[in-house]
Every structure is written in C-alpha cells, then in structure tokens.
Amino acid sequence: MSYKRIGLVAALAMLAACGSDSGTNPIDTAISGTVSFNYTGGGNGSFSATGAITAAAFAGNPYTTTWAAGFKEASDNSTNIIANIPRSSTTSDFVGITVKGQATGTFNVDVNCTETATSTCNGVLLATSFNSTTDTFGTSCALTSGSITISTLSSTSAVGSFSGSGTCVTPTGTISAWTVTNGTFNVPLLANVPANLP
C-alpha cells in the first residue's frame, strides 16, 4: 500500500479498484462479520463493527449500516477486509485491510511498497467521519509498520488479527501518530463487492 493513501479518496482507492473473484461462493448479505481494534491517535478510541451488509446497502449506500465483510481479488491476488460504522446520517467510520496474498500466514506492513494495477501491499486504513457524497473525512489513518495475520482462510471466510503503528492526517494536513492494538477480524467473503464503495 503506497502513500497515495494520505487523502481519503487515495487512501481507499485500492478498494475502488477491487472487484472479487467471480462467484466463488454465494455469500452476499447473509452472514454477519466482525472487525474490531483499539487505537490511539486519529481521535483515539475503538472500532467495533459487527453485522452483515444488507441488500439495500449493495443497491444504494453501504455507509448507512454497520457491517464487516471481505473478498478475494483475483487480479492482484489479494485478500481484503472492509468494515463500516455509521456515525451520523451522512458520515461513517470505514476500515480497509489488505493482504498481498490469499493464504494463511503473517504479513508485514511495507511502507515502501508501490501499488500497481496488478500488485497490492499489506496495510490497514481507517477513515473517520467519512462522507461518501462529498468525499470528505475527519482523519485518514494508515499503518506504516506492523503486521496482519490470517489464521483461517477459505472460499467463504477469513479470520485473523492485526496491529501496528502509523500516521493520521486531517483535511488541513495535520499529521499525528497512530497506534493500533488488539485488532481482530472474522468475516464472510463476499462473492460480489458493492460497486458504490469509494
């Protein structure tokens, strides 16, 4: 994951470019997932999303409900975990976790990695107070060191953990340290990814 992620749109661009493997499983909107972690910096606090992405979210705005899910991307051989928590009628906190690979193991965050159309990087992103209509946000945070572990991976689910440190940036360019601890995920893998993600 390169540092085109400083702004929110750039930070989530890897999700916009992603689709999923073609119909490898039927799970869409049916099974609830969970992503949670504690953090300092970027406003401090905790992120805990548990829920299934709904059919309405697929068809309309995926930022209005709480959910956690994942998908495998064939073109860059990645595993992706995404989660959302609405904070108001127009904003939400959104998380994206990407692993360069589709196997179990521990993957180190690489700050020097350069993303391409066919290659991605290991990373964890958080956008707080994200407004999908205006592409604005409160803070955009990314790990620059740490690791992501996938302990279980199948065609229908992914389970693992993550932690590390990095930076957050505000829309005015203020940069602060960001630390993530106790990160876990247990999500269904979607056969289809909403085209209306950023």
In Å, how far from its chain's centre is CA 126? Answer: 7
Confirm whether 96 is domain-assigned: yes
CB 123 within 8 A of CB 140: no
Confirm whether 47 is domain-assigned: yes
Confirm whether 193 is domain-assigned: no
Sequence-distant contacts of 54-61: CB under 8 A, at least 24 apart: 54/29, 55/29, 57/29, 57/194, 58/28, 58/29, 58/192, 58/194, 60/196, 61/132, 61/196
pLDDT in tens, 47-97: 999 999 877 676 677 888 899 999 898 888 899 999 999 999 889 999 999
pLDDT in tens, 115-147: 776 778 999 999 999 887 888 889 999 999 999
DSSP string, 87-108: -SSS-EEEEEEEESSSSSEEEE
Confirm whether 26 is domain-assigned: yes
- pTM assigned to the model: 0.83
pLDDT at residue 21, as a whole number:
42
148-177 average pLDDT score: 95
Choice between 66 and 9, residue whose per-residue pLDDT is larger = 66
- Nearest Cα to 105, choosing from 34, 173, 160? 160
Confirm whether 129 is domain-assigned: yes
Q: Is the pLDDT of residue 12 over 50?
A: no
Confirm whether 195 is domain-assigned: no
- Tell me the residue range of the domain where 37 lies: 3-188
At 122, the amino acid letter reads N
Confirm whether 197 is domain-assigned: no
pLDDT at residue 190, as a whole number:
84
Domain tally, the chain = 1
pLDDT at residue 76, as a whole number:
87
Confirm whether 162 is domain-assigned: yes
pLDDT at residue 5, as a whole number:
34
